[in-house]
Structure 1
Amino acid sequence: MRTTLALLLSTSYLFAADWPEFRGSAAQGHSDAKNLPQYWGPSQHVVWKSAVAGIGWSSPVVIGNRIFLTSALPIGGVEDPKADRSLHALALDVATGKPVWDVEIFTATAPRMHRKNSHASPTPVYEDGRLYVHFGHLGTACLDAATGKSIWATQEFAYSPVHGNGSSPVLFEDLLIFSADAETDPKVIALDKTTGKQRWAFARQSEAKKKFSFCTPLIIEVNGQKQLITPGSGVVNALNPKTGEEIWRCNYDQGYSVIPRPVYAHGMLYISTGYDKPVLLAIKADGNGDVTATHLAWTIDKAAPHTPCMAVIGDELYFVADNGILTCADAKTGQIHYSERCTGPISSSLLVADGKLYLQDEKGLGVVVKPGKTFQILAKNDLAERSLASYAVIGSDLLIRTEANLYRIKK
C-alpha cells in the first residue's frame, strides 16, 4: 500500500483534479473542471464534512487521492487566541475526508495576530512527491507527501511580522521562493528546495512608511523571459527568479499590507496597492528598470480589493472589494461594465470554473455568478460558518474550508 501511495503522489499534475498550490495549477484561480455544483448547503450536496482541529486559513491543496492543509493547534489543547501554537501539516483522504497523517512541524510563541489571520494562513505547494509548508517567520519545511515525514525544516529566516503571516510560497526550478515583507527590512527569499538553504535574497526598497505586506508572488513569462512578480509595500518588483536580480519595478507611493496575488493576462499584470485605499493597477509587463511613468496602462480607484485575488475571463477582469462589491471591467482598457453588491464582507479569492464565477464570503455564503458584462447571480448557498480560505477544485467537486471544517461539495 505504501508503494501504491507513493506512486500516486510521485508526479506533479498527474490527475485532472490536481490543485497543487494557492489558486490552482496555473496560480490564476482557474479550473478546467466540468459539472461543478451550483447549489449546496450544510446538509445538501455534501459528499463529506471533515472537522479540522486548530485554526488555519491556508487553502486546500489536492494531489491524486490526497488533500493537504496546515493548521495551528493550541498547546495545551484549550482554544485561546493567546495560546502558544503547535504548527501542523495534515493529509486527508479524498474519498472520505478522513485523516491519513497529521504531523507537528514547529511550535511557536503566539505573536499578535489580526482577527482575519492565523498562524497557518500560507497555502502549501506540492511537487514531485514533496509538500512544502510555510508558516512565514515561524518556519518552512519540506515533507514526504506520502507519509508526512520531514525531509528538511528551517527556522533560520525569522523576521518581525505585523498581524502575522499570509504569503504562500512558490516553486521555480530548484528554488522555493517566498515574500518576507516584515515591519522592517522587507525581503524576497529563495531557498534551495532540496536542502532548505538560502540561495538568494532580494532587499525590497520603496518610499512606503509601513513596510509590511502579505502578497504571494506569481511567475510569468514575457518574451521568453521568466519573471517573478512580487508586490510589496509601495512597489511591485519583477525579478529574475533564478538570481533575484530586478528586471523592473513600478512604484505606488504609500500602499502597504498588500495581499492579492497578481493576475496576468493581455500582456498586463493586475495588482491592487493595499491599504489604506487600494487602487487597481494594470501594468504592462515588458519593461526594464523603473517603469512607473511608462508602463502603467490604466487604473481603477473604486471598489478595488484589499484582500481577495482577481480573475480574468476572456476580455473581462473581475474583482471583488472586501465589502462584497463585485466589479467587471474591460481587461484591456479598464472600462467598467458593472459594479454591484454580490456578497457580504469577503476575503477569499475568486474561482473561475465550469463557465461560472464562484465567490465565498466571510460568513460562509457561496455566490455563483454568470460571467459577462451584465451582472447575474445564478445561486446563493449558505454554509453558515465563518470562511476566509479560498476554494479548491477536486474532480467535479468543490472544497470549501470553514473555521472548523473542510467540505467536499458535489453537484
Structure 2
Amino acid sequence: MTKYDARLRDLLVLFLFCVTPLANDAWADWPSWRGIDDHGSRSDGNYPAVLDESTMRWSAPLPGKGCSTPILFGQNLYLTAPVDGKDSILSIDTSGAQRWSTSFATEVSGKHRNGSGCNASPVTDGQGVFAYFKSGTLAAVELDGTERWTMNLVERFGPDQRFWDHGTSPVLTQNHVVIARMHAGDSWVAAFDKVSGELAWKVARNYKVPKECDQCYTTPLVIRHSDREAILVWGAEHVTIHDVSDGKELWSCGRFNPDANMLWPAIATPVIVDDVAVVCFGRNDRGTPQLHGIRLDGSGDVTETNHVWFRDDISSFVPSPAVYEGRVYLLRDKGEVECLDPATGETIWSDRLPKNRADYYASPLIAGGKLYAAREDGVVFVVDISNDRLEMLSEKDFGEPVIGSPIPGDDCLYIRGEDHLFCFATAGKAN
C-alpha cells in the first residue's frame, strides 16, 4: 500500500471509529460500493475459492429488481430494491434475515436490460444510510430504518436527461452527502447536510462536448488534495476537484477527447494510486478504448502538465478498475484482465476469462489474492492472481443476472443477483 493510500485509509478508518465507537472491527466493513478506500479490494481475510453448495451459507430473496451493490457495516448489509413498486432501502443481517425495509416514492423502472430504478449504491458513515434512486429520490435513514429526511432532486432541479439509467452513487464527506448529475442538460455537483438534508452548496459543471459525451454515470471520489478533504469528479471529458465546504473548483484537467469523438459517455469510475488517477474512457466495447494516467497535484487548470501517460489499446467501458497491492486491474467488458503499473500505464501481465457472448457490467472485487468477476448472465468466476496470471479456481452459474459488484465481509463473500442476495464463506466458517 502506498503512503498516499495508507494516509487516506487511516483517516477514513479513524473517522468510522470516531462516529461509531461501539461498531465491530472497521476493517470488516464495506461502507460504499468500492469499499473504504474506493479500490474495490481487500488484502486481509480468507475468502472462498469455490462458490458452490459447500460454501454457500445462505440466500435471501429480494423483493424486486435492483442493480446496485450492497454495502456492509456492523454485521448488517444495506441495499436498494423496489418494494411493492416503491424505491426502498433494505437491511439484511449477516445471517440472511431481513431486519427492515423503508420505502419512499414510486419506482421509475430502468430502460436498459441491465438497468433498474435502483442502480445507484447506498453509502453509510456508520450513523445513517444514504441512497439515490432513478425517480430522483435522495434519502437518508437511521441504522434502524427510521427515515431521517428525503427529497426529490428531479422535482427540485429538473429532469435527469441521461439517455440510459442513472448509475452515479452518492458519496459522503465529513459533513455532507454529495451527488453529481452530468447529463445533456444543466449539469451540477451538490452537497446536502447529512443530518438535516439542507442544501449546503450546488455548483454548475457544464462543458461543451460532442454528442453523448456529457452523459456520465461515474461516482465521485472523496480524496485528500493539498492535504485537505476534497471531491474528485470525472465526466464530460474533464476531471475536476472541488472544495468540500463550498463546491469551488480547485483543479481541473481536460483534453481527453481531442478528436471530438461522439457517443463516449463516462461510465467507469477512476481509481487513484500514489496521486495518479487512472481514468477509463473511449469505447472499449466498440474497439476504441482509451486509458489515461493523470497526476493530481497542482491547482487550477493543469491540462497541459498533468497527463502522465496514455494508451489507446486497452480500457474498460462499464466495469470500474480495482487496485490491489499497488497495481491496477482492469476487467474489460469481454472478460480480458489487464494488470497495470499505475505510474507508467505499462502492462505487467494480461490474461482473459473464458470467451462468451455476454458482457461484464459488475466491477471486479479482489480479496485475499483472488479476483471475483461477475458476468451479466449470472456466471461468476473466482481466479487466483498471485502468480501474475489467471488461475481458475471455480465458476458458478447463479441462474439470474448479476450486475452489482461482489463485496467482502468477515471471511465471506456477498453477491447480489437480480432476485437474491447470496453469502459464501470458506468451508467450516461459522455464520
TM normalised by structure 1 equals 0.88
What residue number does 1:51 align with?
61
- Aligned amino acid, residue 220 of structure 2: P
Task: Tell me how far apart the structure 2 counterparts of residues 327 and 395 of structure 1 sit (CA, whole Å).
Answer: 28
Task: Tell me how far apart the structure 2 counterparts of residues 373 and 93 of structure 1 sit (CA, whole Å).
Answer: 35
Contact 1:214 1:258 in 2 (8 A): yes
Task: Tell me how far apart the structure 2 counterparts of residues 18 and 154 of structure 1 sit (CA, whole Å).
Answer: 28
SS of corresponding position for 2:82: strand
Instruction: State the Cα distance separating 1:315 from its structure 2 match.
Output: 4.3
What residue number does 2:275 align with?
267
Task: Tell me how far apart the structure 1 counterparts of residues 419 and 80 of structure 2 sit (CA, whole Å).
Answer: 13
Task: Tell me how far apart the structure 1 counterparts of residues 195 and 147 of structure 2 sit (CA, whole Å).
Answer: 12
Instruction: State the Cα distance separating 1:262 from its structure 2 match.
Output: 1.6
Task: Tell me how far apart the structure 2 counterparts of residues 152 and 310 of structure 1 sit (CA, whole Å).
Answer: 33
Give the direction of change, closer, same or farther, for the CA distance of 1:27–1:337 in structure 2 (3 Å limit).
closer
Task: Tell me how far apart the structure 2 counterparts of residues 271 and 106 of structure 1 sit (CA, whole Å).
Answer: 35
Instruction: State the Cα distance separating 1:369 from its structure 2 match.
Output: 3.1
Task: Tell me how far apart the structure 2 counterparts of residues 331 and 236 of structure 1 sit (CA, whole Å).
Answer: 17
Instruction: State the Cα distance separating 1:256 from its structure 2 match.
Output: 3.8
Contact 2:102 2:147 in 1 (8 A): no
Instruction: State the Cα distance separating 1:402 from its structure 2 match.
Output: 0.8
Q: Deviations over 1:350-400 (max 9, x none)?
A: 222212222222122222333357322231321333101001111000000
Higher helix fraction (1 or 2): 2
Contact 1:12 1:126 in 2 (8 A): no
- Aligned amino acid, residue 131 of structure 1: V
Contact 1:33 1:395 in 2 (8 A): no
- Which stretch has the larger CA shift, 119-128 or 25-34? 25-34
Give the direction of change, closer, same or farther, for the CA distance of 1:375–1:182 in structure 2 (3 Å limit).
same
Give the direction of change, closer, same or farther, for the CA distance of 1:108–1:157 in structure 2 (3 Å limit).
farther
Which of residues 221, 229, 234 is equivalent to 1:226?
Answer: 229
SS of corresponding position for 2:334: coil
SS of corresponding position for 2:37: coil
Report how many aligned residue pairs link the two structures: 389
SS of corresponding position for 1:307: coil
Which of residues 354, 358, 364 is equivalent to 1:350?
Answer: 364
Which of residues 306, 330, 336 is equivalent to 2:317?
Answer: 306
Instruction: State the Cα distance separating 1:205 from its structure 2 match.
Output: 2.6
SS of corresponding position for 1:151: strand
Q: Deviations over 1:285-329 (max 9, x none)?
A: 002222222101111222311111112233422101111111112
What residue number does 1:133 align with?
131
What residue number does 1:4 align with?
none
Instruction: State the Cα distance separating 1:284 from its structure 2 match.
Output: 0.2
What residue number does 2:99 align with?
100
Structure 1 residue 285 corresponds to structure 2 residue 300: no
- Which stretch has the larger CA shift, 258-267 or 390-399? 258-267
- Aligned amino acid, residue 118 of structure 1: S
Task: Tell me how far apart the structure 1 counterparts of residues 22 and 106 of structure 2 sit (CA, whole Å).
Answer: 30
What residue number does 1:78 align with?
none
Q: Percent identical across equivalent pairs?
A: 26
Q: How does 1:354-373 map to 2 (within 5 A)?
A: 354-371=368-385
What residue number does 2:4 align with?
none
Structure 1 residue 404 corresponds to structure 2 residue 426: no
Structure 1 residue 217 corresponds to structure 2 residue 220: yes
What residue number does 1:5 align with?
none
What residue number does 2:207 align with?
206
Task: Tell me how far apart the structure 2 counterparts of residues 109 and 347 of structure 1 sit (CA, whole Å).
Answer: 21
Task: Tell me how far apart the structure 2 counterparts of residues 100 and 71 of structure 1 sit (CA, whole Å).
Answer: 14
- Aligned amino acid, residue 289 of structure 1: G
Give the direction of change, closer, same or farther, for the CA distance of 1:224–1:353 in structure 2 (3 Å limit).
same
> Alignment RMSD, CA only?
2.1
Which of residues 148, 151, 156 is equivalent to 1:151?
Answer: 148
Task: Tell me how far apart the structure 2 counterparts of residues 290 and 278 of structure 1 sit (CA, whole Å).
Answer: 25
Give the direction of change, closer, same or farther, for the CA distance of 1:128–1:31 in structure 2 (3 Å limit).
same
Instruction: State the Cα distance separating 1:12 from its structure 2 match.
Output: 8.6
What residue number does 2:14 align with?
none
Unaligned ranges ≥5, structure 2: 1-18, 427-431
Task: Tell me how far apart the structure 1 counterparts of residues 206 and 104 of structure 2 sit (CA, whole Å).
Answer: 32
Q: Deviations over 1:145-197 (max 9, x none)?
A: 11x12110001344323212111111101110011112211111111111212
Instruction: State the Cα distance separating 1:336 from its structure 2 match.
Output: 1.6
SS of corresponding position for 2:81: strand
What residue number does 1:3 align with?
none
Task: Tell me how far apart the structure 2 counterparts of residues 140 and 395 of structure 1 sit (CA, whole Å).
Answer: 30
Q: Deviations over 1:243-298 (max 9, x none)?
A: 21112212223574212222111220111125474411110000222222210111
SS of corresponding position for 1:389: coil
Instruction: State the Cα distance separating 1:103 from its structure 2 match.
Output: 2.1
Contact 2:114 2:403 in 1 (8 A): yes
What residue number does 1:72 align with?
82
What residue number does 2:11 align with?
none
Task: Tell me how far apart the structure 2 counterparts of residues 282 and 136 of structure 1 sit (CA, whole Å).
Answer: 31
Unaligned ranges ≥5, structure 1: 1-8, 76-84
What residue number does 2:6 align with?
none
Instruction: State the Cα distance separating 1:109 from its structure 2 match.
Output: 4.5
Contact 1:315 1:332 in 2 (8 A): no
- Aligned amino acid, residue 147 of structure 2: S
Task: Tell me how far apart the structure 1 counterparts of residues 387 and 266 of structure 2 sit (CA, whole Å).
Answer: 28
Q: How does 1:162-241 map to 2 (within 5 A)?
A: 162-209=163-210, 210=212, 211-241=214-244
Contact 1:138 1:158 in 2 (8 A): no
Contact 1:11 1:129 in 2 (8 A): no
TM normalised by structure 2 equals 0.85
Contact 2:82 2:107 in 1 (8 A): no
